[in-house]
Structure 1
Amino acid sequence: MNEARKQRISSRLAAVDDALVALSNRLHEDPETGWQEHRSSAAVAGVLAEHGFAVEHPYLGLDTAFRATGGAAHPRFTAGFLAEYDALPGLGHACGHNLISAMSVGGAIGLAEVAGDLGIGVEVIGTPAEEGGGGKIELLERGAFRELDFALMAHPAPVDVAEARPFAVAHWHVRYDGRAAHAAAYPERGTNANDAFLVAQLAIALLRQQLPAGVRVHGVQTLGGEAPNAIPERTEGRWYVRAESMAQLLELEQRVLKCFEAGELATGARLTVTPESQRYAEMRTDEEALDLYRANAIALGRDFDVDPIAATMNRASTDMGNVSQVVNAIHPYIGVGGDASNHQPEFAAACVGDRAEQALRDGATGLAWTALDVALVRSAS
């Protein structure tokens, strides 16, 4: 009986294949960054509305978030597919969020084909600003996801990896305010904010030797001065601290902050550190559901026997980790092939075309089949 249902899902997905590919391509051609995904969120929500879902857009006061509902009117079990559609500044969809949206939309449409008869509710929640803005955390705090029994999504990567093991992460905006002066005529009148950043970066570089294995500290300076003959009065940057768990992150943050404080102490420039989002948590994977996904993906011809070096995208931080702390969840990775890796321009190119489209089909099918399996197992128990 379940195989017959999975065949119905596959047939439904075949019927909407052109629409899913067109959605992925549309997002890819028109990338929008976090909190600005107005056209992207409308496009994703629009495809769901065209295929029978009731759509709330905006959702919970966030302009580029949405919630689409389908399946059983009074469900015993509700599966939620999460859609991401924000792009990277300057790199477009070099993390493949165009495919994430298309896979989640496809998974939901496929599951809805059989959900009504089985008492299964189907939702798609459009989540803005995953790339550092913490859109899912904002939605969580406003009450999203908590009515779900199971949350799932799939993320593009160079190769297939079943289990996500993301770092917890803090995102900071760092600013030093000094005092401008002529660098040759009156240097003693200036307070060099660029030197403050230099001291901080040197301190962080030295700190790395004493940090636990697996911890990551990295960032960029986005403003460093205006002219070589003027002492910079303001510098800015964006920095991330990553750790294996939220508990470890909270401890290590203080050590990194002291490095930035060293820049302030050494130069006299005033330091301001502002969180860009709330902290992303580590992933709490639903192991039973992950086993079901793995079996379904293998049945579709996906291969998890891959080069471990190519598989490390599963360590990338995600606000899906915060969702997994309150809802049973999985976040597998699906390979698009090639030599490029996420956040490279070449990976953006790999997220369209024949191989990407096959990953889209397999991802949507694997997610829908897995949601069906999980729903049947847990609604019967």
Structure 2
Amino acid sequence: MLERGAFADVSAAMMVHPAPVEADHMPCLAVANLDVHYTGREAHASAFPERGINAADALTVAQVAIGLLRQHFSHSDQAHGIVIKGGDAPNVVPAHTSGRFLVRAADLEALGRIEPRIRACFEAGAVATGCQVEVGLVSPRYSQFEPDQAITNAYRRNAEALGRSLPGPANLTSTDTARPMVGSSDNPRPLAGSTDMANVSLAIPSIHPMLGIDSGGATNHQPKFAAACVTASADRAVVDGAMAMAWTTLDLATDPDLRSRLLSGP
């Protein structure tokens, strides 16, 4: 949508997202979504194993290489993936395997440093086994999120007026270290994720707050969190989020300084 001009006449963008904590911004890492395909040669795994080229081994080598590379990651670098196809039968040397991996980093510049190293791990799997490898992007890379400070401040005031409890305000930048924390009290860690809206934030002023719901300790993408999202308290949070964004839109339209800046464009 962004590439096709859908936001060409848009002055600002806002979106909210449920989370186990409330926050006026959503910490987002840059991400590359990669598909990897290995092609080997089938053979009977018992009668003629020497005639096979094992594509499953190639994917295993790549996963081990990525695991070893993690010791050299910076604090924001991440890589995680799944095996989509691992073979067809245990008595056949797999000729075709595939996986999907997410590579994340603090920003696009950092992603440009770590992504080639992950791709080298995929190449290592091919070299070690004699397979052919293809690596491609599933979708365009997502950038880090650049929240607009003035719009964030307006949203925060409106959310608090509705009774939402937010942690202390942060001076938001693309390298923001004052990220909302999750995890146990003795092992807290910054909340992180990625979104395509981050690319929008580089083009127009944008915010992406998080709505804290009573999830009983469950976190995003867990079944208990999904169940918590269809409760009355979660419905209340969604209504609050919609109202806070609506009131913020009124602020943007009626505050002379904000309105002038947004209408003047990037």
- Matches of 1:318 and 1:190, distance apart in 2: 41
Paired position in structure 2 for 1:365:
243
Paired position in structure 2 for 1:299:
161
Unaligned stretches of 5+ residues in structure 2: 169-179, 262-266
Q: TM-score, normalised by structure 1?
A: 0.62
Paired position in structure 1 for 2:181:
308
Question: How far does the alpha carbon of each residue in 1:232-269 deviate from its partner, in whole angstroms, 9 at most, with x for none?
Answer: 11111110100000111012111111101000000011
Matching residue within 237, 259, 264 for 1:379: 259
Paired position in structure 2 for 1:317:
194
Map of 1:147-162 to 2, 5 A cutoff? 147-162=9-24
Question: How far does the alpha carbon of each residue in 1:260-295 deviate from its partner, in whole angstroms, 9 at most, with x for none?
Answer: 100000001110112110000111110011011111
Map of 1:136-285 to 2, 5 A cutoff? 139-285=1-147
Alpha-carbon contact 1:283-1:320 (below 8 Å) kept:
yes
* Letter in structure 1 aligned against 2:244: G
- Matches of 1:220 and 1:259, distance apart in 2: 15
Alpha-carbon contact 1:164-1:331 (below 8 Å) kept:
yes
Matching residue within 194, 199, 209 for 1:332: 209
- Matches of 2:64 and 2:105, distance apart in 1: 20
Paired position in structure 1 for 2:224:
346
- Matches of 2:87 and 2:11, distance apart in 1: 51
How many percent identity over aligned positions? 46
Unaligned stretches of 5+ residues in structure 1: 1-138
Alpha-carbon contact 2:30-2:108 (below 8 Å) kept:
yes
* Letter in structure 1 aligned against 2:221: H
Question: Tell me, what secondary structure is at the counterpart of 2:220?
Answer: coil
Question: Tell me, what secondary structure is at the counterpart of 2:62?
Answer: helix
- Matches of 2:122 and 2:250, distance apart in 1: 50
* Letter in structure 2 aligned against 1:248: A
Equivalent residue pairs, number: 243
Question: Tell me, what secondary structure is at the counterpart of 1:165?
Answer: coil
Question: How far does the alpha carbon of each residue in 1:178-200 deviate from its partner, in whole angstroms, 9 at most, with x for none?
Answer: 11101111011000000001110
- Choose between structure 1 and 2: higher helix proportion: 1
- Matches of 2:189 and 2:99, distance apart in 1: 26
Deviation at 1:308, TM superposition (A): 2.1
- Matches of 1:159 and 1:368, distance apart in 2: 21
Deviation at 1:375, TM superposition (A): 2.1
Alpha-carbon contact 1:297-1:362 (below 8 Å) kept:
yes
Task: Find runs of 4+ consecutive structure 1 residues off by over 4 angstroms.
Answer: 310-314
Deviation at 1:312, TM superposition (A): 6.8
Q: TM-score, normalised by structure 2?
A: 0.88
- Matches of 2:254 and 2:134, distance apart in 1: 52
Q: What is the root-mean-square deviation in Å for CA atoms of aligned residues?
A: 1.7
Alpha-carbon contact 1:166-1:315 (below 8 Å) kept:
yes
* Letter in structure 2 aligned against 1:203: A
- Matches of 1:175 and 1:314, distance apart in 2: 31
Question: Tell me, what secondary structure is at the counterpart of 2:2?
Answer: helix
Deviation at 1:360, TM superposition (A): 1.3
Question: How far does the alpha carbon of each residue in 1:123-171 deviate from its partner, in whole angstroms, 9 at most, with x for none?
Answer: xxxxxxxxxxxxxxxx011101121111101111112111122000000
Q: Residues 312 and 343 of structure 1: is their aligned pair in 2 closer, same or farther, counting only changes over 3 Å?
A: farther
- Matches of 1:319 and 1:308, distance apart in 2: 22
Q: Which has the higher contact order (CA 8 A, sep 6+)?
A: 2
- Matches of 2:209 and 2:2, distance apart in 1: 21
Alpha-carbon contact 1:163-1:314 (below 8 Å) kept:
no
- Matches of 1:283 and 1:186, distance apart in 2: 53
